[in-house]
A and B are shown apart, each in its own frame.
Chain A
Amino acid sequence: MKPQVKIVNCETGEEIIRDATAAEIAQMETDAANYAAEQAEAEAKAQAKAAAEGKLAALGLTTDDLRALGL
């Protein structure tokens, strides 16, 4: 099913729901790709942080220890 958009004209009171145009669908796909990339980047950062914390723990250190060193 095609994505749809809702159009509200306050001046006339008209409200319609129509299929998205090709240009709108293209923009939605761009938005979706951008959103997925952001989600992947956030996930990668979280994993990298967890891995780094694991290495610190293996050395008997915590993030508080690093802060105490001004790092």
Chain B
Amino acid sequence: MAKQSFVTGQVLTAQQVNDLQTNDFNQTVSAKTASYTLVAADKGTRITMSSTSATTITVNTGLFAAGDTLFIQNLNTGVCSITAGTATVDTSASLALAQHEGGTLYFTSAGVSTFFKAAGAAASSGGMTVITSGSLSTTSVSISGFSGYNSLLLEINNPVVDVSSQMAFRFNNNSGGVYSQAGMSPLTNTILNGGPTSTARAGFATYNLSTTADNTSVFISVNDYDSTVYKNINMGTANGSDAIFGNVRFNDTTAITSIQITTSGGTSNFTGGTYVLYGVK
């Protein structure tokens, strides 16, 4: 229920009082199933998001006042990200809510808010958390802001492009010859190239991409990604016609702060497929 305004001398009805009491004991819920932009009437309510795809809840300025609060929670598997529209949203935690995560959005002025993430879904040691997920699109997808885990696991499912090309991965958008890789294709009995990749290759784990969905699945795991030593990566892929597994060494002592998923055909775009990035504590 949105906040009510009463005037001097007004006689309250039983319904009005009951509605107020109901909001105290059973907070008004505004259920969403797709990305949503907050409105003034959301003040004091609980916003629930339920979607299997990534969604956003956008916060704009001029709708709330200092001291206003509302609760936001994510009920489904798609990551729900609280996004600063024209307002500022600060937090000491992540604004990306995995399933069963939530917290209070508190406004210190009309255009400034802080998100206080509630405890509950934080992964314990060895636990895995969905950091982000979404659809592949454009020529390249760059993911950053995933600090605080021991290792990362990136899954790519069913990528499709508009022009036949290859998919390659990079760290920190490093396009130098810093990726040593070796692999094997058991189905074709082929040993794949090892040694440093050329500068022109500028990435690793290149897989052929099709213009039609072929159920290709790719995984990449990176241990100690934020360390300042060379990083070792395990990877694998499979589709209807091939299966490849192998290892990569990222010959750079810089901590990995971003991952790029690219179509190395250069002029092609992802037209389908999804990514999920997990963090392991």
Name A's B-contacting residues (CB within 8 A).
3-15, 17, 20, 24, 27-35
Contacts and interface: CB of A to CB of B under 8 A. Distances in A.
Given A8-B134, A14-B83, A28 B266 contact: yes
Given A33-B200, A34-B200, A35-B165, A12 B142 contact: no
A20 B198 CA distance: 23
Interface of B: 54, 56, 81-84, 89, 94-96, 131-132, 134, 137-147, 165-166, 168, 175, 198, 200-203, 262, 264-267, 269, 277
Contacts of A8: 132, 134, 141-145
A4 B145 contact: no
Contact of A32 (B83, B175, B265, B269): B265
Contacts of A10: 94, 96, 131-132, 143-146, 277
A63 B148 CA distance: 56
A-B pairs, top 8 by smallest CB distance, nearest first, are: A32-B266, A13-B81, A11-B145, A13-B95, A10-B145, A31-B264, A28-B266, A4-B138
A68 to B, nearest CB: 19
Most buried by B among A20, A28, A32, A35: A35
9 contacts: A3-B269, A6-B137, A7-B144, A8-B141, A11-B144, A11-B145, A12-B84, A32-B264, A35-B264
Given A6-B138, A8-B141, A8-B144, 4 more contacts: A5-B140, A10-B146, A17-B138, A28-B266
A30 B202 contact: yes
B163 to A, nearest CB: 10
B56 A15 contact: yes
Contacts of A32: 165, 264-267
A3 B262 contact: no
Contacts of A35: 165-166, 264-266
Nearest to B268: A32
Given A31-B265, A33-B200, A35-B165, A6 B84 contact: no
Contacts of A5: 138-142
A29 B165 CA distance: 13
Given A10-B94, A11-B94, A28 B139 contact: yes
Contact of B267 (A6, A7, A28, A34): A28
A31 B168 contact: yes
A4 B172 CA distance: 18
A11 B95 CA distance: 6
Nearest to A32: B266
A31 B142 contact: no
Nearest to B198: A34
Contacts of B198: 34
A24 B96 contact: no
Given A10-B143, A12-B145, A15-B81, A3 B267 contact: yes
Contacts of B175: 27, 30
B18 to A, nearest CB: 37
